[in-house]
Amino acid sequence: MKHLKLKALLIVMAGLFISSQTFATDGYFSVGYGTINKGLAGAGIAFYQGSLINGNPAGNVFLGTKYQLGVNLFNPNRKYTVTGNPSGMEGTFGLMPGTVESDSKLFLMPSAGANWMLSDNSSISAALFGNGGMNTDYPTATFYDPMAETTGVNLAQMYGNITYSHKLGENHSIGVTGVLAYQYFEAKGLTAFGAFSSDATAISGNGTDSGFGYGFKIGYLGHLTDNFSVGVTYQSKVFMSEFDDYAGLFAEQGDFDIPSSWTAGIAWEVASDFTVMADVKQIMYGNVNSIGNPMLPNLMTSPLGTDEGAGFGWENIMVYKLGFNYAGVDTWEFRAGLSIGDNPIPSSEVMFNILAPGVIENQIALGFSKEVGNSGNQFHLAFNYAMNSSVEGVNPMDPPSGQTIEIEMNQFELELGFSF
């Protein structure tokens, strides 16, 4: 009966995801996954308690049989500011000066996971969660599209992970995850770039297109002493099917793979019930052409949609995370975290990234868990604030004007979770 209830909940979660839109803050990935991990600002690759929802797959075998549900309410605030008038010279593309804020500021994102013990030394788990994405909805024709009153994109991604975790002795474990992904995308207000495209009919205003993909994740967790653990994971590039309706926009004929990443970290119980975590993570955005190809000179040398067509110019980034967990107050646990990362968007790439201003660098988190009765079930809460960050650069399509473009973003998140 419990398994049937979980299946029903997963179907509801999937439906809620399909109806929502996303933005995230490690570039376009979430700062963390699941309410426990969110309360640590994503730290804890060596802290198995937060491993179930896209954590270290090697940690799940230490969880026992467990079910976890969560729902995240988040408020991304994105805007751009153009300073200076267009030159009006032939062959240039100046923008109207002023500040424009993106609409669509409140979103809901569910997550769910379950871990089943196969034996004392192995487990299998399933998790469903939103991975991230990017969304903008500017109430103006930013790029002078006569066919649209608004400008923006909507990319959302969903993972369905199946994980096998196995102990190697009492203190070490490994895990492997089969990653299945679904994503959808829509663009509005971009027909002006049709002149630069290999297929001007597949660049904007074609509704929502979707695709599926696959990859893998592996992890190791080692309890080197009673109070000190190390963890490491690697996630492959997730190979996605192309967005055919936007084959004239994204490089490689509509390809939009999810980039690979790796994470390494430690967890140290420095005092009774007080654990400090430190992680380092790298995300390889630059290894996906549609994300990493620069706008210029590619826009002038290779049509949009070709292998070397212009992209968002995102660079590979490093992210550093610090988390604290205190479990010394009766049935309570308290958490805090800090995430400091590189900005993937250089100043030369501000124009296209009006559509995707993933410029967040610093984030703070607070959270707690409370046992419900004496059942072992827990209620979780996490609050995250992605501090305001911006990037400014010269409009590369109108250099005579000296016009500048500043893209800016901050984000608030509140997540509620329950494990049993």
Q: What is the mean predicted confidence (pLDDT) over 171-195?
A: 97
Q: Give the pTM.
A: 0.92
Residue 381 confidence (pLDDT): 98
- The pLDDT-based confidence of 374 (bands split at 50, 70, 90) is confident
DSSP 3-state of 62: helix
Residue 298 Cα distances to 95, 304, 316, 352, angstroms: 20, 8, 19, 13
pLDDT tens for each residue of 295-336: 999 999 999 999 999 999 999 999 999 999 999 999 999 999
Q: Could you give the CA distance from residue 152 to residue 169 in angstroms, rounded to a whole number?
A: 52
Cβ(105)–Cβ(75) under 8 Å? yes
- The Cα–Cα gap between 38 and 412 comes to 12
Residues 39-89 pLDDT 10s: 999 999 999 999 999 999 999 999 999 999 999 999 999 999 999 999 999
- Confidence at residue 8, expressed as pLDDT on a 0 to 100 scale: 45
Give the pLDDT band (50/70/90) at residue 22.
low
d(CA 255, CA 53): 27
Confidence of residue 4 (pLDDT cuts 50, 70, 90): very low
What's the mean pLDDT when you consider all of the chain?
93
pLDDT confidence tier of residue 6, bands split at 50, 70 and 90 = very low
For residue 362, the model assigns a pLDDT of 97
